[in-house]
């Protein structure tokens, strides 16, 4: 019996010395290094249906943005990334403009309404912005690096503005955090929540996102954490008192309301050892309504966004 005691103690010591120890917890952190270069592809498929006075109009948008991240600094103050937009592709199908296509790599000058979209998106090419990100993935600052990033966005034009495809909307998309990691080490099954404020064309929203570690597996020699997310969106209150109107007179444009609960979910693959996202995918559905004169406008927005991150070295 005594001869077995050292062996038992040895097993216990070895178990406690393994990463995570007996608790099986893992600390998830971005670990980008100075000089590291990454290529990101952001693909967004969006379908918007507008119902108004018994009529319906559907618009479909396929947007792909290619960009590069160059890590210029990484220390306890955060990770500084120079983000450069390398390419933009857009396919837009709407009742008003038919099919509109734009590819920043194309040499031919677009015609008709496609020119509005091109004029809005073309200045994005070569735009460099320095992002400061915490090791948890929070975008804490953004600073223009070159002249293209400093210049004010041009007017989107009727075709682009009609569906919200403008330089401003694309820049907003690219400055969103891919994932916000937990403050403490987590085990499989643990979850954490993050609340943020979003500004959209339809108004201000509060977004509450819950992340959960669904599993940690080995893939191609890497430890990969699968993180699932769900989000709830609520229209934010402006806090301002409603405008006073004459008796029996309705406002021309009413307050934006969520008609049905917001649906958003997704999956993120995070490489634990190299400390970065490999792929993030999420889908969402949002139905809003707003009074306009004597009618009600109902907008149903469905989208799928996939972000793929690859080493450029």
Q: What is the mean pLDDT of residues 206-221?
A: 92
Looking at domain 26-311, which CATH architecture does it have? Roll (2.30)
Report strand pairing: 191-200 vs 128-133.
unpaired
For the ranges 48-57, 91-100, 143-152, the one whose mean pLDDT is highest: 48-57
Report strand pairing: 128-133 vs 139-144.
antiparallel
The position carrying tokens 């709407």 is: 94
pLDDT of 2-38, one tens digit each? 444 444 433 333 333 344 433 579 999 999 999 999 9
DSSP string, 90-141: EEEEETTTEEEEEETT--SPP-TTHHHHHHHHGGGTT-EEEEEE-TT--EEE
pLDDT of 42-62, one tens digit each? 999 999 999 988 889 999 999
Q: What is d(CA 212, CA 214) in angstroms, rounded to the nearest whole number? A: 6
- Give ∠ CA 272-216-24 in degrees, rounded to 5: 90
Tell me what the pLDDT averaged over the chain comes to: 79
More confident residue, 229 or 287: 229
More confident residue, 171 or 90: 90
- The whole-number pLDDT of residue 145 equals 58
- The whole-number pLDDT of residue 64 equals 93
pTM: 0.78
Per-domain boundaries in the chain:
26-311
């Amino acid at each position: 019996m005594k001869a077995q005691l050292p062996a038992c103690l040895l097993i216990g010591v070895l178990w406690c010395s393994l990463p995570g120890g007996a608790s099986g917890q893992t600390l998830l952190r971005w670990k980008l290094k100075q000089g590291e270069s990454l290529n990101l592809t952001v693909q967004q498929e969006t379908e918007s249906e507008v119902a108004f006075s018994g009529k319906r109009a559907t618009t479909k948008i396929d947007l792909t943005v290619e960009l590069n991240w160059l890590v210029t600094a990484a220390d306890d103050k955060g990770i500084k990334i120079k983000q450069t937009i390398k390419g933009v592709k857009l396919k837009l199908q709407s009742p008003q403009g038919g099919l509109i296509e734009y590819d920043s790599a194309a040499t031919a000058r677009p015609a008709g309404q496609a020119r509005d979209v091109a004029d809005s998106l073309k200045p994005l090419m070569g735009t460099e912005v320095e992002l400061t990100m915490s090791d948890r993935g929070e975008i804490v600052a953004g600073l223009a690096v070159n002249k293209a990033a400093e210049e004010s966005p041009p007017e989107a034009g009727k075709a682009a503005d009609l569906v919200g495809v403008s330089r401003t909307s694309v820049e907003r998309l690219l400055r969103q955090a891919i994932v916000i990691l937990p403050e403490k080490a987590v085990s499989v099954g643990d979850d954490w929540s993050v609340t943020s404020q979003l500004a959209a064309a339809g108004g201000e929203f509060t977004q509450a996102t819950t992340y959960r570690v669904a599993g940690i597996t080995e893939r191609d020699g890497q430890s990969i954490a699968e993180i699932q997310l769900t989000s709830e969106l609520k229209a934010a209150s402006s806090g301002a008192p409603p405008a006073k109107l004459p008796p029996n007179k309705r406002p021309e444009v009413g307050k934006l309301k969520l008609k049905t609960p917001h649906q958003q979910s997704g999956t993120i693959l995070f490489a634990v050892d190299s400390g970065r996202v490999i792929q993030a995918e999420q889908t969402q559905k949002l139905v809003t309504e707003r009074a306009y004169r004597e009618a009600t406008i109902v907008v149903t927005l469905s989208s799928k966004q996939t972000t793929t991150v690859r080493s450029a070295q």
